[in-house]
A and B are shown apart, each in its own frame.
Chain A
């Protein structure tokens, strides 16, 4: 799960990290009062107006504006709220800005990068810092990898202070700023651990002209599997930032991702679902979605799956590909027949059922009288559904 910058900073602040803070507004009429409150509470004339969307690259896209005075801040705030922000992470369609964060501003001397994530290969968390903050870290990694320093953290020991010191030295810090940064890096690790994050990233972490170290941005992704032990964080989920169909699918324990093609597919198991998308492409079609119905493909699941797939108007044909293990194919077949009868489907449906009770399933489909195209094997199924989508 992703959360917004302002939420991430709130979590960081709970662990003692000094963050650049401010207030949020989501209605134009609140812009003025929010800016005034930030100016008053943080004792500042200049502020920063920041779009809150889940994608990165907000600054480059025009969603983050330094504002030297109230009038400029109001102008920026009114412009950013409701804008369609396009960044390298939103794709061409962009993302509507529904929340704006007005924060205090700092005079920046240096910008650094700090992040913790899992190193899958090593099976350990890795803490990375760079003296090249404020820019895309992928670029730094590609062009000047020597400017990134890493420490790997023993899972049973946790991060040790010598490791935090090593990272702070790598940033070139000295004196009080060094001490402050060491403390912040430890706090950042504790936050990462405590909230079950999959990534925490601060870009930039800044050194101000008066020698303070401050967190200027927060990217926090959480492990969905661990949200059961973080009810407060789970409540931070912003459904406006997610695809409505994917949210809807989630309610029925379906795992759906919309793609750009015209061949819908419904499959049990994530690996087989991906392989089905791939073979649709090889057969000359384009998959319209990823949909894993999981281990329980009942009539209800199939119906909801159809509904979600067909809410995408590009879909011209649907392939159901089930390899019954624990799932019994005869039950799936009954579900398909029932769903097709009830919903009166307007697009051709190709069905491939293999595994447990596959023969019984084929009989059920054949005798149902509903207009379903049966297929044998994945190659046959892919070819048939692509032909159907092309209107052949």
Chain B
């Protein structure tokens, strides 16, 4: 078991002939991901990546011809919102949007549409999802992961890799690692992921990595307090970030109240999550929590 994606997921890559799409689709195939189709309007009927993947003009066509049920999006920011909506209307169940720089007004509408259609959107501006040894649906380096029983949720890409690396170093593998993205509006929240990991029998422990800005970590922690039976470790980046400045991610800005690192760390702690004060302690804390549990 795992969450969201596995070896049976049938992947369609939207924007497969762009430079990002080409490179990462190749990497995903090499990892063993089950890519069944690519979409680039105007290039339908062709094949790509050494003839391994057929290209379709639309997601709808790709779904009809290949039974694709999961999509990953590499199209440029001006077209990313529509790509998500296209996938949603074509009946795709899980959509991962890697694209960075999607306008927030577009995302507000997209979020409403995917919620109405019951589509699970992850991202935008995220590294994607990896279910170890089964499906790499994203841009993360697959080789750093090891199969195991920890679920990893993070707003940030390289910080996810850092956490995975530390887990592996203390002998803990992962079921699924998911980067949810650091934009103000994202499809799948931290709480959504915790809920999925809690329900997944194979996942025995959960790492959540948040950052300054917004209320998502707090909402997740409060939900976890009443609903999660598995040990959890949390880390919040941005303890030294000055208020009012956007730290890279569009959503990573302290604008007052409970969105500082300090407040989030305190509330995570109050909700029974073991909080790593230093990023270097994530692995050790998870190991300790698993042993105690």
- A residues sitting closer than 8 Å to B (CB atoms) are 89, 118, 120-121, 123-125, 138, 154-156, 193, 196, 198, 223-226, 228-229, 255, 257, 259, 267-282, 287, 290, 292, 323-326, 354-356, 377-379, 382
Shortest Cβ gap from B254 to chain A (Å)? 11
Chain A's closest residue to B76 (CB) is A228
Total interface residues in chain B, CB < 8 Å: 61
Shortest Cβ gap from B204 to chain A (Å)? 25
Given A120-B184, A324-B141, verify A378-B162 contact (CB < 8 Å): yes
* Contact status B241-A274, CB under 8 Å: yes
Query: Does B225 sit at the interface, judged by CB under 8 A?
Result: no
Chain A's closest residue to B138 (CB) is A325
Shortest Cβ gap from B160 to chain A (Å)? 8
* Contact status A272-B112, CB under 8 Å: no
* Contact status A277-B103, CB under 8 Å: no
Residue with the greatest number of chain A CB neighbours at <10 A, chosen from B141, B237, B242: B237
24 of the cross-chain contacts (CB-CB < 8 Å) are A89-B244, A120-B215, A120-B216, A138-B256, A156-B112, A196-B103, A224-B250, A229-B78, A255-B248, A257-B245, A269-B158, A271-B155, A271-B158, A272-B237, A273-B247, A274-B240, A275-B235, A275-B279, A278-B278, A279-B278, A324-B141, A355-B144, A378-B278, A382-B280
* Contact status B156-A272, CB under 8 Å: yes
CB < 8 Å neighbour of A281 from B144, B239, B242, B248: B239
* Contact status B111-A225, CB under 8 Å: no
Contacts of B239 in A (CB 8 A): 277-278, 281
Docked pose: A143 CA to B141 CA in angstroms:
50
B254-278 vs A, CB cutoff 8 Å, 1 = contact: the mask equals 0010000100000000000000011
* Contact status B219-A121, CB under 8 Å: yes
Given A259-B240, A275-B235, A290-B247, verify A223-B161 contact (CB < 8 Å): no
* Contact status A259-B242, CB under 8 Å: yes
Chain A's closest residue to B139 (CB) is A326
Docked pose: A54 CA to B111 CA in angstroms:
31
Contact residues of B between 198 and 246, Cβ < 8 Å to A: 209, 211-212, 214-216, 219, 235, 237-242, 244-245
Docked pose: A354 CA to B143 CA in angstroms:
12
Shortest Cβ gap from B235 to chain A (Å)? 7
Shortest Cβ gap from A237 to chain B (Å)? 16
Query: Does B108 sit at the interface, judged by CB under 8 A?
Result: yes
Contacts of B47 in A (CB 8 A): none
Chain A's closest residue to B283 (CB) is A377
* Contact status B112-A123, CB under 8 Å: yes
Contact residues of B between 100 and 158, Cβ < 8 Å to A: 101-106, 108-109, 111-113, 127, 139-141, 143-144, 154-158
Given A118-B184, A120-B185, A378-B279, verify A271-B214 contact (CB < 8 Å): no
Given A118-B185, A354-B165, verify A325-B279 contact (CB < 8 Å): no
Shortest Cβ gap from B224 to chain A (Å)? 17
Query: Does B91 sit at the interface, judged by CB under 8 A?
Result: no
Chain A's closest residue to B185 (CB) is A123
Contacts of B161 in A (CB 8 A): 323, 325, 354-355
* Contact status A268-B158, CB under 8 Å: yes
Shortest Cβ gap from B267 to chain A (Å)? 15
* Contact status B241-A223, CB under 8 Å: no
Docked pose: A147 CA to B249 CA in angstroms:
33
Residue with the greatest number of chain B CB neighbours at <10 A, chosen from A196, A225, A257, A323: A225
* Contact status A120-B214, CB under 8 Å: yes
* Contact status B105-A226, CB under 8 Å: yes
Query: Does B54 sit at the interface, judged by CB under 8 A?
Result: no
Contacts of B101 in A (CB 8 A): 225
Docked pose: A228 CA to B102 CA in angstroms:
11
Given A225-B104, A270-B247, A281-B240, verify A123-B235 contact (CB < 8 Å): no
Shortest Cβ gap from A159 to chain B (Å)? 13
Shortest Cβ gap from A11 to chain B (Å)? 15
Chain A's closest residue to B101 (CB) is A225
